[in-house]
Chain A
Amino acid sequence: MSEPVRNRHEFVFLFDVENGNPNGDPDAGNMPRLDPETSYGLVTDVCLKRKIRNYVELAKGNADPFEIYVREKAVLGTVQGRAHAAVAKEGGKKADLIKEARDWMCAHFYDVRTFGAVMSLKENNCGQVRGPVQLNFARSIEPIVPLEVSITRMAVATEKEAESQSGDNRTMGRKHIVPYALYRAEGFVSAHLAAQTGFSEDDLALLWEALASMFDHDHSAARGKMSARKLVVFKHDSALGNAPAQKLFDLVGVARATDPDAPARAFADYAVTVNKADVPGGVTLIEKL
């Protein structure tokens, strides 16, 4: 393992969706999430984290020390048959044992090191790991208009359905799509919390890789075409940071390149500007995508 991350980072991540549903809202019958007041589309932080976890699991094959702790059933790989190095010592104070268990989890599980995890204990819930990486909700650049697409199915599932259809056997289904939207997410990496969980430079490189490639491994009938479009990383010279986060985020601007009255339907309809001239001292701007 390489050294823990010593520099504070912020990042701006742009991704788009074409004829798909980036993140369904369980409250609205799986329609794309909308901010009801402004009609901007939303993608939750946990949705993006899930994709990062899935990518790391694919890329690293769930091998030590990049195991993924909160997993999806779909890729239940080779869990059995791997014995772990046991570091447990019986006896000792309970607090020491908890700390040992926490460190062990951080050492083996990428998502615990990165995002943290809550481990409950019998008496008091304090086996918590706070991860260095923090993501906010991704929001679309412009208001979105979700479409509801009705589709037909030429077969039915049960005899009962066939009877009610009187032999026609055709049923209707629905899909919700966003014709096109560009979303912007922002994130933070705390160097101090990285030191606490052992989140290393290799882990950070893997995080950037995951953000850049995760949509390529997440295709499904619901998603349509989703792509990572831009990843701008701000690396501070120090652990504490050298500039306020919001000032750095403002350096990445997204505006319409084409007539703003016509709906955007492609990434080319947007112009992304990265204002390198105004990057404050002590901060390095890195364009990963």
Chain B
Amino acid sequence: MAFGVGLMVRGDYACFTRPEMKSERVSYDVMTPSAARGILEAVYWKPEITWVVDRIHVLSPIRFTTIRRNELGGKMPYGNVRSAMKGGSPPAVFIEEDRQQRAALVLRDVAYVIDAHFDVKGGDANTAKHKEMFERRARKGQCFHQPYLGCREFPAAFECLDGDAPQTGLPPADRDKDLGFMLHDIDFARDMTPRFFRARLQNGILTVPPFAEATA
């Protein structure tokens, strides 16, 4: 891959929420391709390119912990803003009236290596430029916004990976594992349809199939 990049990310917590368990969040065992793409885009992205995640190396053991928080139950109806803009009463949300306690089962002490490349969709087809800009930023710790591991309260520390990914730190029993169906990414072109793939860890590495092969 002439324009492949490697990025090492780590953090104290992570929550890659399973879409079927969104109210009481439960994280997938490993990072989803969609979350990995978000991290790459936080470091560098231009409308001309699309990031494609090839492999996710799982470097540390998969451990969970639970956190329960007070959260807001609803979202603000758009109509409230519109009416306020026309001079109605200002919109407000009262947390006491719409409070939900939600538990989240989140990952602890995660570390991954994201192997990815990008496709140029149009415009400036100078792949070397994009690759160098990404790597320059990753090396200096520069980013558009601090990347995060599934939720913004779990920031990700990132560094550019030169050379090969380190050996997985997974216990031998977990290195080859069927993770079941996992979210690949959201198909924004087709009305935000989520697409799934069969995720398998092989020697601690999750190989991501092309998005076109993922099932909606």
Question: Chain A residues in contact with chain B, CB under 8 A?
Answer: 25-27, 33, 35-37, 42, 44-46, 50, 67, 69-73, 76, 79-80, 82-84, 86-88, 97-98, 100-101, 104-105, 108, 117-122, 124-125, 127, 130, 132, 134-137, 139, 186, 188, 190, 192-193, 238, 240-247
Contact of A67 with B90 in the complex, beta carbons under 8 Å: yes
Q: Is the CB of B69 closer than 8 A to any CB of chain A?
A: yes
Contact count A vs B, C-beta below 8 Å = 147
With beta carbons under 8 angstroms apart, the residue of A26, A44, A247 that contacts B153 is A44
Do A244 and B101 touch (CB < 8 A)?
A: no
A72 in contact with B68 (CB, 8 Å): no
Given contacts A35-B65, A71-B92, A73-B96, list 16 more A-B pairs with CB under 8 A: A26-B70, A44-B69, A72-B94, A73-B97, A79-B90, A86-B85, A120-B74, A130-B152, A134-B153, A188-B146, A188-B155, A193-B145, A242-B140, A244-B158, A245-B155, A246-B157
Say if the beta carbon of B171 comes within 8 Å of chain A. no
> Beyond A26-B70, A46-B71, is A119–B78 a contact (Cβ under 8 Å)?
yes
Whether the pair B85, A101 counts as a contact (CB closer than 8 A) is yes
Among candidates B68, B82, B94, residue contacting A88 with C-beta atoms closer than 8 Å: B82
Of B68, B145, B159, which is within 8 A of A188 by CB? Answer: B145
For B77, what are the chain A residues with a Cβ–Cβ distance below 8 Å? 119-120
Contact of A71 among B87, B94, B108, B148 (CB under 8 A): B94
Cα distance, A27 to B140, chains bound together (Å): 41
Q: Contact at A105–B92, with CB atoms within 8 Å?
A: no
13 A/B residue pairs, CB under 8 Å, sorted by A:
A36-B65, A50-B95, A67-B90, A71-B95, A79-B90, A86-B85, A88-B82, A108-B90, A119-B77, A130-B152, A134-B152, A190-B144, A193-B145
**Cα distance A130–B65 in the bound complex, in angstroms:** 26
A100–B68 Cα gap in the complex (Å)? 35
Of all chain A residues, the one with the shortest Cβ separation from B10 is A246
